[in-house]
Amino acid sequence: MTHPYIPNAGPETRAAMLAEIGAPDVAEFYRDIPADLRLDRPLDLPEPFADEQGLTRHLRGLLARNTDPAALLSFLGHGCYPHYVPAVCDEVNGRGEFLTAYAGEPYADHGRFQALFEYVSMMAELLEMDVVNVPTYDGYQAAGTALRMAARRTGRARVMVSGATAADKLAKIRDYLAPDVEVLLAPVADSGELGEVRLDDTFAALYLETPTVHGVVETRGRELAELAHGVGALLVVGTDPISLGVLAPPASWGADLVCGDIQSLGMHPQYGGGQAGFIASHDDERLVAEFPSRLFGIAPTEVPGEYGFGDVFYDRTSFALREEGKEWVGTAAALWGITAGVYLALMGPQGMRELGETILARTRYAMRALAAAGAVVRHQESVHFREFAVEVPDADALLAALRGRGILGGVRLGPREVLVCVTEQHSVADIDTLAAAVRDALTALAAAAPAPAPAAPAAPDAPAAPGAAT
């Protein structure tokens, strides 16, 4: 059988094509590869499945070793969020046209350009900023690049970064800026918001997140913007756009660059495969010049009334300039951008507002329910969006106990700290289930061991577990 993926692999076809070329055999084309570099044996790989059915059985068998997600009630977040994905999002990103397109020109791929232009335009409305990039890999990368952009724009080599940032993300930012930019850590206040920071004119940027790693919504935005602007630094804000139906967009209180991940906007968690990053700025020519990413813009064509699309200011990219371009650009996460556009078009302004209200309400409900269940809720007086941290005598023991009831109770931030995530997918009944299980578990733990001293909050930059929560 000629392999279904390789139409010309049949011996007759191969012979006819070789004849047309005038080559004796395929080995001829490899003659530039020295003999001592040739692999003189077949690759040692597992036996393949010649039939699709066998392949399917094999793969489904492997996947069946994962616990059925439907059998788990999960409160995991910490950078990847279980929001509801409308069916239309999957329908659109499953279309072969979008799924298998790549880097075509604006004419043959007019639809791809338009869909991505619309994505950036809808994000721009949500963010109240005029410039949004075609997605980069993820929110980590977006933060690293936004800070490098700030450094280039200001010509300065230090940035102040909020300590209320996920440890892995902080590490990535440090690594990414290391050659050129020094990263200083800003303290976190008891409220969970950014603490007192001092900046001077050596700082390129102040970076903060809202909601923070602990889900705390920053309330001093305008003050911090003024602080940064006062020394000529930029205010760079990391946020999740899903919060912006109810929260004021950072630009409205002075942010110069806003960045984050769009996984919340219509992407399934996919064991980390749904991440995509955005960076936004105002339409300031000098900041636009610092974007490494592609920017898609609308343009007239020869025919009046037509909309064409193309790259805005292409001659700043590594595609155009190699190492002289801004950082680099490459394949990243465009399809998730299109999907986020579908999500925002479905939701509209009212949907985003209602969603935000529901998440705020349920987050607070969950905080109260867990407090009533005996957990110590951190930053209890602050406004939280979607996440909050609780202190418990033994995070591992608690999570294990919950696990026994089919609940993934949260992400372990430290030996005594667990981060709980509540989205619109968690009904009040789900939260009550969690709270009841937490109460039982804490009671059992207390009975099993003498009560420890109150837990110290985990250091904000303590490394998280490498990949798994428990």
Interactions with other proteins, residue window 9-38 (CB under 8 A): 9-10, 12-14, 16-18, 20-23, 26, 28-34, 36-38
Which range of residues in 151-159, 225-233, 246-254, 437-445 is near other proteins by CB under 8 A?
246-254
Q: Binding other proteins by CB under 8 A: which of 108, 447, 451, 453?
A: 108
CA distances from 357 to 85, 168, 249, 353 (A): 18, 29, 15, 6
Question: How far is it, in rounded angstroms, from Cα 408 to Cα 430?
Answer: 12
Q: Binding a second copy by CB under 8 A: which of 22, 34, 46, 96?
A: 96
Q: How many CA atoms lie within 13 A of 134 on its CB side?
A: 25
Q: By C-beta, is 54 or 230 nearer to other proteins?
A: 54
Show the tokens assigned to 417.
């700290």
Please report how close the Cβ of residue 426 comes to other proteins at its closest, in angstroms: 10
| Residue 56 in the binding site for a second copy (CB under 8 A) | yes
Please report how close the Cβ of residue 420 comes to a second copy at its closest, in angstroms: 20
Q: Counting Cβ atoms within 10 Å, is residue 380 exposed (0-12), middle (13-18) or buried (19+)?
A: middle
| Residue 308 in the binding site for a second copy (CB under 8 A) | no
Q: Which residue has the tokens 């607070």?
A: 364
Question: How far is it, in rounded angstroms, from Cα 200 to Cα 167?
Answer: 25
The closest of 6, 4, 333 to 137, measured between CA atoms, is 333
With CB cut-offs between 5 and 8 Å by kind, which of other proteins, a second copy, none does residue 125 bind? other proteins
Backbone φ and ψ for 221, nearest 5 degrees, come out as -55, -50
Q: By C-beta, is 91 or 180 nearer to a second copy?
A: 91
Site for other proteins in 413-452 (CB under 8 A): 424, 427-428
The closest of 407, 390, 401 to 441, measured between CA atoms, is 401
Q: Cβ(415)–Cβ(394) under 8 Å?
A: yes
Cα 245-250-255 angle, rounded to 5 deg: 160
Cα 70-71-77 angle, rounded to 5 deg: 70
Q: Binding other proteins by CB under 8 A: which of 150, 360, 401, 435?
A: 360
Count of residues engaged in binding other proteins, rule: CB under 8 A? 225
Q: Binding other proteins by CB under 8 A: which of 190, 202, 230, 300?
A: 300
Site for a second copy in 23-52 (CB under 8 A): 52
With CB cut-offs between 5 and 8 Å by kind, which of a second copy, other proteins, none does residue 297 bind? other proteins
Q: Binding other proteins by CB under 8 A: which of 24, 155, 305, 450?
A: 305
The closest of 410, 327, 337, 354 to 74, measured between CA atoms, is 410
Secondary structure class of 117 (helix, strand, coil): helix
Please report how close the Cβ of residue 244 comes to other proteins at its closest, in angstroms: 7
Q: Binding a second copy by CB under 8 A: which of 266, 424, 434, 458?
A: 424
Q: Binding other proteins by CB under 8 A: which of 203, 207, 278, 296?
A: 296
Please report how close the Cβ of residue 451 comes to other proteins at its closest, in angstroms: 26
Q: By C-beta, is 87 or 453 nearer to a second copy?
A: 87
Site for a second copy in 329-368 (CB under 8 A): 346, 350
With CB cut-offs between 5 and 8 Å by kind, which of other proteins, a second copy, none does residue 135 bind? other proteins
With CB cut-offs between 5 and 8 Å by kind, which of other proteins, a second copy, none does residue 380 bind? none
Q: Beta-carbon neighbour count of residue 187 at 10 Å?
A: 12
Q: Cβ(152)–Cβ(284) under 8 Å?
A: no
Site for other proteins in 53-72 (CB under 8 A): 53-56, 58-60, 62-70, 72
| Residue 453 in the binding site for a second copy (CB under 8 A) | no
Q: Cβ(334)–Cβ(135) under 8 Å?
A: yes
Show the tokens assigned to 460.
């904000």
Please report how close the Cβ of residue 2 comes to other proteins at its closest, in angstroms: 5
250: cis peptide before it, omega within 30°? no
Show the tokens assigned to 54.
């066998």
| Residue 53 in the binding site for a second copy (CB under 8 A) | yes
The closest of 69, 70, 80 to 387, measured between CA atoms, is 80
Q: Cβ(150)–Cβ(259) under 8 Å?
A: no
Binding site residues, a second copy, CB under 8 A:
1, 4, 52-53, 56, 60, 64, 70, 84, 86-87, 91, 96, 346, 350, 424-425
